[in-house]
């Protein structure tokens, strides 16, 4: 089961991990914008493409969350897999601690998790390049659907977390909340987001957020072992 606190935590993970998101996806967003005709790179026309891309990206996250939440549901409802479900909850709590360390810059082990997804991504990435340069909102949308599966330690951590919900709807909600958190830094990388970006990049802000994520993971561990 998932609570409103968990949804808020997932949103904050996406928001405060924004520097990482810009590093992973910012180049794609830049390529998307640069591929547009000159007259469409500014104003409302550009926003249409950016919205299409990002909404599709978040849609991919949400779909993955539903799938992983469904796996958690199967584990919780098949008696033979009950112990496996408990193991997945433990793994999710440990990933939360690892994610906090990652956000705080204290341990970068999740980078190895990103590399592990490279095999699948090597097959998906050529499909995404078929939609470049982007000339229509439809192309931007399909580009976002594919790039939503880009190997990312932040996404993988929240996906593992979604398994522990034991419910496909809650798993989808968790990833949707995370996706919304990533939206400001990727959608508003211009002047309008300067103040937000400065706060997100502030090491003190990131360390506070990372500490909260670690505490959430430790609390989840405590509930499992008590």
Q: What are 64-76's pLDDT values in tens digits?
A: 999 999 988 887 7
* CA distance to 3, 144, 155, per residue, from 96 (Å): 16, 26, 11
* Ranges of each domain in the chain: 4-225
Q: List pLDDT tens digits, range 42-61.
A: 555 677 888 888 899 999 99
Integer Cα distance of 103 and 16 in angstroms? 8
Q: Are 146 and 124 in contact (CB under 8 A)?
A: yes
Out of 19-28, 128-137, 138-147, the most confident range is 138-147
Instruction: Kindly report the backbone phi and psi dihedral angles of residue 175, in degrees, each rounded to the nearest multiple of 5, phi listed first.
Output: -70, -30
pTM score: 0.76
| Predicted pLDDT of residue 193 | 40
Q: Give the pair of three-digit tokens for residue 72.
A: 């958690």
The Cα 53–Cα 56 span in angstroms is 5
Q: Distances from the Cα of 147 to the Cαs of 32, 86, 108, 129, in angstroms?
A: 12, 31, 22, 10
């Amino acid at each position: 089961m998932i609570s409103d606190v968990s949804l808020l935590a997932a949103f904050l993970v996406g928001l405060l991990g924004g520097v990482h998101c810009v590093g992973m996806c910012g180049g794609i967003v830049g390529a998307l914008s640069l591929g547009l005709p000159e007259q469409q790179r500014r104003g409302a026309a550009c926003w249409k493409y950016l919205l299409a891309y990002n909404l599709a990206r978040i849609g991919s996250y949400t779909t993955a969350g539903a799938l992983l939440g469904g796996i958690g549901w199967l584990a919780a409802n098949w008696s033979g897999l009950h112990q496996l479900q408990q193991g997945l909850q433990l793994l999710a709590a440990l990933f939360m601690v690892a994610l906090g360390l990652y956000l705080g810059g204290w341990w970068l082990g999740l980078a190895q998790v990103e590399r592990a997804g490279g095999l699948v991504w090597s097959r998906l990435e050529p499909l995404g390049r078929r939609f470049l340069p982007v000339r229509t909102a439809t192309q931007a949308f399909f580009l976002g659907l594919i790039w939503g599966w880009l190997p990312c330690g932040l996404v993988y951590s929240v996906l593992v977390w979604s398994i522990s919900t034991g419910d496909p709807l809650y798993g989808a909600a968790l990833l949707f909340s995370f996706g919304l958190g990533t939206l400001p830094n990727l959608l508003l990388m211009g002047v309008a987001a300067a103040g937000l970006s400065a706060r997100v990049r502030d090491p003190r802000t990131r360390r506070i957020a990372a500490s909260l994520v670690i505490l959430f993971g430790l609390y989840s561990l405590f509930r499992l072992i008590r």
